[in-house]
Chain A
Amino acid sequence: MRGLEFLVFLLLPLAVLGVWVVYPILATVVLSFTTSSGFSLGSHIAVVTERSPLKALIYPEPGPYPPWGALIHNALWIAIGLPLVVFLGVVLAYLLREAYGSGAVRSVIFLGMVLPGVVSGLTIRFMFDADIGIFPKLFSLLGIQELAKTWTIYPQTALLALILGSVWLWLGFSVTIFSAGLDAIPKSTIEAAIIDGASPVQIFFKVILPQLKPVTLVVTLMTIMWILKIFDIVYVATGGGPGGSSTVLALIMYTYFASALEYHKAAAVATILALLTLIPAGLYIKSVLAGEK
């Protein structure tokens, strides 16, 4: 009887995973390294050296503002978006612990997590529109005319608009996890610090932050993985423009795949994207396995 149970409990799910996840992943890697003539690095070299602004991974003639190429745009996204997500997440989670009406605030912040990406993309367009958007209006009140325009149509600001928009979307995740992390901190450590006469700020930095290290690691890695895969908000809000100044890896993979039908190149971009994702994923897996012990 046990054998049958093995079959159902273990092999049925594994067979499904085999056909729809494992096989396609391997096949994509193979596709990216093959051409009509057999094994070759041709597709990988071609996508990395592509010069057209709408498809370039690394733009050959970088100027003072984008386009710099999708790889660089993704890196920039991590460099700007990640600290914002982590910092705002910690601070908000900490402040929300003792605030009145924290449930309502949490709900609003979490809203971005449940929006379909397409709707988020539209919302980002709204946010940064010169006539009806919050940000341009804010800057025109402050008298900063350079930023009182529609952000998504200028190469200087299109990518930044998307990055800030993505923080708006993703902050809910960060706040939720940090809140859980704060709840898990034993009260006794904080009480001891209060008895020692520490100020709230000191408590935050000396007692709480060190204990949030593992949680911060998870938020960081998850956020990086999420940023690397971003597609729909870019597709809807800017389509990668103007002048290719807001392209990202996932969008370029789709461009090769859908409009040009260049499967090998699309597979090469996907493989590069997957390799990049493996770095944070590997670290995350390591932390999970460490927690298992």
Chain B
Amino acid sequence: MRRTVSARRVLVSTALLVFAALWALPFIGLVVTSLKPYSEVILHGWWSMGGTYSLKNYIEALQSPFYNLMAGFRNSFIVATASTFIPVLLASLLAYSLSYLDFKGKTTLFVSILFMMSVPQQMVVIPLYMLYAKIGLLDKLLGLILLHSAWGVPWITFFMRNYLKMIPSSLVESARVDGASETTILMRILIPVITPAVIAASAIQFTWVWGDFFYAMVFLASPDNWVITQRIALLKGEYHIDWGLLSAGAILALIPPLVIYTAFRKYYVRGFAGWALKG
């Protein structure tokens, strides 16, 4: 009985590993293309093991003043870091209010936040574009940061609130009875508990902002201000596209989110799951 079970386990595991290998193939192809001269890839296919491997594409992509990926990285880091910090802070405050403060219209506010979570990005750009044009925030990283920050607040609020619900309210109540101010309660009791939530939300928000293309396309027009995703998508010359360089650029662009994912994997997974499973 036992043995058949483990035999089945081995079979299932093998099947899954094969599946994962197939699943990873497109990605592997991208990596190989970035490591070989493009002419070799198109004439012999990336699966041919031979040929010349080098980091030439990476070096060129990073150093070429025309591609200027470094500037793209700089802009992306500025935007993604600021747009992670601000909304996580704001959303924590809001989540706290929803959980521990009493005020009229709490349910309405909660429902509106859920609605804001699901509105498509396309719904806000036009009026903001006009507004930014008037107050001079167009083509500025600050404008993009403010938008991303506001956009992150609803879902992070919901996310944090799910975490806060896990804390027994008696803890907070007894602290209130002891005469602690809301700020003290927040600092002493809640922060330690919701740290994992903050990490998970930050990781997801950072990845999301890093990968955003639509907002950047609408609000950043000068090549100097372009974030990395725009550079990858728009970096083709009039009569010249170098796919080797493009792949290298693409790989470089996905390194930061990949590192964050690997570092905070367990938080991530818990965060996504928290989305679906109510407390």
Q: Do A and B bind each other?
A: yes
Which residues of B are found within 8 Å of A119, using beta-carbon distances? 30, 211, 232, 250, 253-254
Which residues of A are found within 8 Å of B229, using beta-carbon distances? 116-118, 232
Q: Using CB atoms, name the residue of chain A closest to B9.
A: A98
- CA A105 to CA B16, docked complex, whole Å: 7
Q: Could you give, for residues 25-39 of chain A, a 1 whenever the CB lies within 8 Å of some chain B CB and a 0 otherwise?
A: 101100100000000
Give the shortest distance, in Å, between A244 (CB) and chain B (any CB): 19
Which residues of A are found within 8 Å of B21, using beta-carbon distances? 108
A250 with B120, Cβ < 8 A, contacts A114-B257, A116-B257 known: yes
User: Do B97 and A10 touch across chains, with their CB atoms under 8 A apart?
Assistant: yes
Which residues of A are found within 8 Å of B85, using beta-carbon distances? none
User: Do B94 and A13 touch across chains, with their CB atoms under 8 A apart?
Assistant: yes
- CA A217 to CA B256, docked complex, whole Å: 32
Interface size on A, residues (CB 8 A): 98
User: Do B12 and A95 touch across chains, with their CB atoms under 8 A apart?
Assistant: yes
Choose one: A111, A215, A253; the contact of B276 (CB below 8 Å). Answer: A215
Give the shortest distance, in Å, between A71 (CB) and chain B (any CB): 14
- Which positions 12-47 of chain B face chain A at CB distance < 8 Å? 12-13, 15-17, 19-27, 29-30, 33, 41-42, 45-46
- CA A241 to CA B174, docked complex, whole Å: 63
User: Do B26 and A123 touch across chains, with their CB atoms under 8 A apart?
Assistant: yes
Which of the 9-residue segments A46-54, A62-70, A143-151, A262-270 touches chain B? A262-270
Choose one: A99, A114, A281; the contact of B9 (CB below 8 Å). Answer: A99
- CA A228 to CA B123, docked complex, whole Å: 13
Which residues of A are found within 8 Å of B118, using beta-carbon distances? 225, 277-278, 280-281, 284-285
Is A155 among interface residues, defined by CB-CB distance under 8 A?
Answer: no
Is B217 among interface residues, defined by CB-CB distance under 8 A?
Answer: yes
Choose one: B153, B182, B250; the contact of A2 (CB below 8 Å). Answer: B182
Choose one: A114, A222, A281; the contact of B207 (CB below 8 Å). Answer: A114
User: Do A27 and B96 touch across chains, with their CB atoms under 8 A apart?
Assistant: no
- CA A12 to CA B246, docked complex, whole Å: 42
User: Do A273 and B123 touch across chains, with their CB atoms under 8 A apart?
Assistant: yes
Which residues of A are found within 8 Å of B26, using beta-carbon distances? 123-124, 126-127, 133-134, 168
Which residues of A are found within 8 Å of B232, using beta-carbon distances? 116, 118-119, 122
Which residues of B are found within 8 Å of A14, using beta-carbon distances? 94, 109
Q: Could you give, for residues 102-130 of chain B, a 1 whenever the CB lies within 8 Å of some chain A CB and a 0 otherwise?
A: 01000001010011111111111111101
Best-buried of B23, B149, B154 by chain A (most CB within 10 Å): B23
Give the shortest distance, in Å, between A92 (CB) and chain B (any CB): 7
- Which positions 226-249 of chain B face chain A at CB distance < 8 Å? 228-229, 232-233, 246-247
- CA A101 to CA B151, docked complex, whole Å: 37
Give the shortest distance, in Å, between A273 (CB) and chain B (any CB): 5
User: Do A177 and B213 touch across chains, with their CB atoms under 8 A apart?
Assistant: no
- CA A10 to CA B99, docked complex, whole Å: 11
Is B222 among interface residues, defined by CB-CB distance under 8 A?
Answer: no
Contacts beyond the supplied A13-B157, A277-B118: 18 A-B pairs with Cβ under 8 Å: A12-B90, A17-B153, A21-B151, A27-B127, A111-B258, A115-B211, A116-B253, A118-B229, A124-B26, A133-B29, A181-B276, A229-B120, A231-B213, A277-B119, A278-B118, A281-B114, A285-B115, A288-B114
* 29 CB < 8 A contacts A-B: A6-B97, A13-B157, A17-B153, A21-B151, A21-B153, A22-B116, A95-B16, A100-B13, A102-B16, A104-B17, A105-B16, A108-B20, A109-B20, A109-B23, A114-B261, A116-B254, A117-B211, A117-B229, A122-B232, A132-B42, A134-B25, A168-B26, A176-B273, A231-B214, A232-B229, A250-B121, A273-B123, A278-B115, A292-B278
Instruction: Give A contacts to B, CB under 8 Å.
Output: 1-2, 5-6, 8-10, 12-14, 16-17, 19-25, 27-28, 31, 92, 95-96, 98-102, 104-105, 107-111, 113-119, 121-124, 126-127, 131-134, 168, 173, 176-177, 179-181, 184, 214-215, 218-219, 222, 225, 228-229, 231-232, 235-236, 249-250, 253-254, 257-258, 263, 266-267, 269-271, 273-274, 277-278, 280-281, 284-285, 288-289, 291-292
Give 5 nearest A-B pairs by CB, closest first.
A20-B150, A180-B273, A116-B211, A281-B118, A291-B278
Instruction: Give B contacts to A, CB under 8 Å.
Output: 9-10, 12-13, 15-17, 19-27, 29-30, 33, 41-42, 45-46, 90-91, 93-94, 96-97, 101, 103, 109, 111, 114-128, 130-131, 146-147, 149-151, 153-154, 157, 181-183, 207, 210-214, 217-218, 228-229, 232-233, 246-247, 250, 253-254, 257-258, 260-261, 265, 269-270, 272-273, 275-279
